[in-house]
Amino acid sequence: MTETVVLLAALLALLAGLAAGKAWERYKLRGGRWIDRRRLRGSPHYILGLNHLVSNQIDLAIDELTKAAQLDRDALEIHLILGNLYRENGQVSKAIQIHQRLLQRARMTTLEHAHVLLCLGLDYRHGGFIDRAAETFSEVVRLDPRNTHALLNLEKLHEEQHEWREARVIRQRMAEAAGDEHNPRDQAILAFLENELGLQAMREQRPDQAIRHFEAATHLDVKTVPAYLNLGDVRLALGQRKEAVEAWEKIVRIVPERAYLAFSRLKDAYAGIGAPERFPDLCRRLIDTNPQDWRARLALGEHLAANGAARRGLDLLLESLLHNPHGLAIHQAIWRTLSVLAFEESVVTRYINLTRDAVFYLDPHICMRCRYRSTELLWQCPQCHEWNTFVEERIATAEESEEAPA
Residues that bind Zn ion (CB under 5 A): 367, 369-370, 372, 381, 383-384
Is-contact 279 240, C-beta < 8 A? no
| Half-sphere CA count of 173, side-chain side, radius 13 A | 21
- Write down the least CB distance from residue 167 to Zn ion, Å: 17
* Closest-CA residue to 333 (of 352, 310, 350): 310
Residue number, 214 or 372, with CB nearest to Zn ion: 372
Alpha-helix runs per DSSP H in 55-129: 58-71, 76-88, 92-103, 110-127
Label the pairing between strands 390-392 and 33-36.
Answer: unpaired
Q: Residue 5, Cα to own-chain centre: how many angstroms?
A: 15
Residue 214 or residue 390: which is nearer to Zn ion going by CB? 390
Judged by beta carbon, residue 200 or residue 383, the one nearer Zn ion is 383
Least gap, CB of 378 to Zn ion (angstroms): 9
* In the complex, minimum distance from the CB of residue 8 to Zn ion, in angstroms, rounded to a whole number: 14
Minimum CB distance to Zn ion smaller for 306 or for 370: 370
In the complex, the smallest distance separating the C-beta of residue 349 from Zn ion, rounded to whole angstroms, is 43
Query: What's the min distance (Å) between Cβ of 374 and Zn ion?
Result: 9
Instruction: State in angstroms the smallest separation of the CB of 49 from Zn ion.
Output: 30
**Which residue's CB is nearer to Zn ion, number 148 or number 383?**
383
Q: What is the DSSP track for 222-284?
A: TT-HHHHHHHHHHHHHTT-HHHHHHHHHHHHHH-GGGGGGGHHHHHHHHHHTT-TTHHHHHHH
Q: How far is the CB of 7 from Zn ion (least distance, A)?
A: 18
Q: Which SS3 state, helix, strand or coil, does residue 130 take?
A: helix
Q: Strand, helix or coil at 376?
A: coil
393 torsion bin: left (phi>0), alpha (psi -120 to 50), beta (else) = beta
Helix (H) or strand (E) holding 28: strand 27-30
- Closest to Zn ion by CB, 164 or 372: 372
Q: Which is nearer to Zn ion, 86 or 372 (CB)?
A: 372
Query: Could you report how far apart the first and last alpha carbons of the chain are, in Å?
Result: 28
With contact defined as beta carbons under 8 Å apart, do 120 and 96 qualify?
yes
- Minimal distance in Å, beta carbon 383 to Zn ion? 5
Residue 271 CB: number of other CB atoms within 10 A? 13
Closer by beta carbon to Zn ion, 1 or else 359: 1
Sequence letter at residue 389: T
Q: Considering the complex, state which of residue 43 and residue 380 has its C-beta at the smaller distance from Zn ion.
A: 380
Please, what is the minimum distance in Å from the beta carbon of residue 384 to Zn ion?
3
The DSSP secondary structure of 204-233, one letter per residue, reads: TT-HHHHHHHHHHHHHH-TT-HHHHHHHHH
Pairing of strands 27-30, 390-392: unpaired
